Amino acid sequence: MNEARPLRRRTVLSVLTAASLGGLAGCLGGADDSAPDASENESTTFRVGTQWNPDSLDPLVKGWVFRKLSVIEPLVITDYDASVAPGLATDWSATDESRQWEFTLRDDVTFHDGTPLSAALAVESLRRSFASTSLAGLPVESVSAADDRTVRIRTERPFAPLPAHLTRAETSIVSSESYDDDGAVTELIGTGPFRFDSWEPGERITAVAFESYHGTVPSIDELVYERVADEQTRLLKLENGELDMARQLSTETTPGLEAHDHLTAYEYEVPRTRYLVFDTTSTPFGDREVRRAAMYALDRAGIVESVLNGGGPAAVGPYPPELTEWANEDLEPYAYDPEKARELLEAAGWKATESGRVRDGEPLEIELWTYDAWSLPIVAQVVQEQLSAVGFDVSLRQLAYSTIRERANRDSFDAVLWSNSLLWYPDPDRLADFVHSTEATMFSGYENERVDRLLEAARTTTHRAERKRRYDEVQAIAQRDVPIGWVTHVTNVVGTSADVEGYRPLPTETCYHLEDVTHQSRA
């Protein structure tokens, strides 16, 4: 897996993006370029700004936040190459055709309240996790302690992806003292290098270094995770020394970051993809050839270069092959071919007129929905233009993320431009969320018995090559049927103060690993 690469100078943005981004670049470029005098601040507080809202202490609700901050730890973790690596468990094995799994715990782990970690306490935490709605789809039959150091998990059927699912933050081992008698979280007690300290709902989380951590104790004394929803504000706070790290920046911010000597930027590809979800149950995208026409109409490489400032790359399938071997590298891409798109629409009965296309007197009108994250609104504008060029009449609507999900799951729609991580647990079993007819959480309405059988069969064997063959076929069928049209992958940018050392971005972004960071001016 690629590591973060040095930033490079970018070409001038397209006319389309220049107007919307000019204010941002100007704001960064026009500010005082002198670095704040960090030596005046002797504190070892490290402030991180993100757009995400820390609105719950419960690890089953916002465990991903506390996992990113290294407050909580699961049995196994995701490594830098997107493989499953030891976490609180040093090793694991499966018997009975991958139905019975045993995980051996580290012997030097204590919770933040000083209680030693035991298999019994881990089992108690895991039982709460598996009883939650977020993990309800996992076929876990029982969780028990084989001895004081061994956790045994038995599944209802052979289930090869279990270790990958155990990297999910919801499975992190948390002390039962974290909850009151009603099950409400009162103080989050984990095992990570940072210990939970305080929380201002919706605003910030504060954690402090855990001196008895079983690994390297952080050099940062205090860690503040702050919600700064607006990207421009995050950048200004970083520039002014109010933040030490600004996360989830777009590649459009690169020129502004490069202009400041007292800032460092990390640019890296992540296994996140921007994609179109088509409603396969209604007109016009109920017709596969119309979906294929839409894909031929898109200049994905052009979007990357002109809109995303080179950050992408253009997507062929769900996975960027540079980041994971689970990508099917033999997928046939949808080339940018507007004439092919027009031919498919004509063959599907959508005849060209002076103002667009009609079939049986009905115009080819669609609504394209999206939400404000990961540069989706500006990408949606280009998608609108390119679909319009082959005859679609496209109305663009920006809605709240939750509104889209609610409406698309309830009613028919046309198409949604969405973004998601395809490896937030490191296994292609994640594809079931997209294309399984009954398990998918995406809302295309796609049904394909062969795809269902392949996904289900791939779970039953630990033979990696056999699993890869099945997931490759799933990707190929989905590429042909296009319930979801992959548009671009995502390049993320993180900005830090220049005197921050030791930061190494984890491509899956499941953990920031700030326990490895040193703030040189405050060391």
The H or E element containing residue 466 is helix 464-481
Specify the pLDDT at position 11. Answer: 27
Exposure of 4 in the CB half-sphere (CA atoms within 13 A): 18
How many Å is the maximal CA-CA distance in the chain?
76
Spell out the residues 6+ positions from residue 260 whose beta carbon is closer than 8 angstroms to its own: 28, 33, 35, 239
Q: Is the previous residue joined to 158 through a cis bond, with omega within 30 degrees of 0?
A: no
Q: What number of other Cβ atoms are within 10 A of residue 179's Cβ?
A: 18
* Strand-pair category, 45-50 with 245-249: parallel
Decide whether 45-244+499-519 matches 272-490 in CATH topology.
no
Phi, psi of 116 (to 5 degrees): -65, 145
458: its two tokens = 């791939």
User: Rounded to an integer, what distance in angstroms lies between the CA atom of residue 174 and that of residue 128?
Assistant: 10
Question: For residues 241 and 495, is the Cβ–Cβ distance under 8 A?
Answer: no
- Among residues 330, 505, 276, 177, the alpha carbon closest in space to that of 517 is found at 505
Phi, psi of 369 (to 5 degrees): -100, 145
- Helices 464-481, 449-458: axis angle to 10 degrees equals 160
Does domain 272-490 sit in CATH 3.30.565.10?
A: no
User: Rounded to an integer, what distance in angstroms lies between the CA atom of residue 394 and that of residue 399?
Assistant: 16
Question: For residues 393 and 364, is the Cβ–Cβ distance under 8 A?
Answer: yes
Partnered with residue 101 across adjacent β-strands are 94, 153
User: Rounded to an integer, what distance in angstroms lies between the CA atom of residue 252 and that of residue 153?
Assistant: 46
55: its two tokens = 């609105």
Q: What is the CATH number of domain 45-244+499-519?
A: 3.40.190.10
Per-residue pLDDT in tens (0 to 9) along the chain, 523 residues: 444 543 432 322 232 333 333 333 333 443 444 444 544 455 689 999 998 887 888 999 989 999 999 999 999 999 999 999 999 999 999 998 889 999 999 999 999 999 999 999 999 999 999 999 989 889 999 999 999 999 999 999 999 999 999 999 999 999 999 988 888 888 999 999 999 999 999 899 999 999 999 999 999 999 999 999 999 999 999 999 999 999 999 888 888 898 899 999 999 999 999 999 999 999 999 999 999 999 999 999 999 999 998 988 999 999 999 899 999 999 999 999 999 999 999 999 999 998 899 999 999 999 999 999 889 999 999 999 999 999 999 999 999 999 999 999 999 999 999 999 999 899 999 999 999 999 999 999 999 999 999 999 999 988 999 999 999 999 999 999 999 999 999 999 999 999 999 999 999 999 999 999 998 766 6
User: Rounded to an integer, what distance in angstroms lies between the CA atom of residue 96 and that of residue 101?
Assistant: 9
Question: For residues 416 and 277, is the Cβ–Cβ distance under 8 A?
Answer: yes
Looking at 131-243, list the stretches that DSSP marks H as alpha helix, in order from N- to C-terminal side: 162-165, 231-239
DSSP string, 320-368: -TTT-TTS-TT-------HHHHHHHHHHTT-EE-SSSEEETTEE-EEEE
| CA 426 to chain CA centroid, nearest Å | 11
Identity at 219, one-letter amino acid code? S
What pTM was computed for the model? 0.86
Locate the domains of the chain by residue range. Answer: 45-244+499-519, 272-490
Residue 27: C-alpha distances to residues 22, 277, 307 (Å): 8, 35, 20
Strands (E), 122-215: 140-147, 150-155, 194-200, 204-209
Partnered with residue 60 across adjacent β-strands are none
Exposure of 459 in the CB half-sphere (CA atoms within 13 A): 21
User: Rounded to an integer, what distance in angstroms lies between the CA atom of residue 48 and that of residue 500?
Assistant: 12
- Among residues 300, 313, 178, 309, the alpha carbon closest in space to that of 252 is found at 309
CA angle 289, 295, 300 (to 5 degrees): 170
User: Rounded to an integer, what distance in angstroms lies between the CA atom of residue 202 and that of residue 56?
Assistant: 8
Judge residue 333's burial from the number of C-beta atoms within 10 Å of its C-beta, 0-12 exposed, 13-18 middle, 19 or more buried.
middle
- Among residues 409, 508, 497, 509, the alpha carbon closest in space to that of 46 is found at 497
Q: Which residue has the tokens 């092919």?
A: 340
The H or E element containing residue 470 is helix 464-481
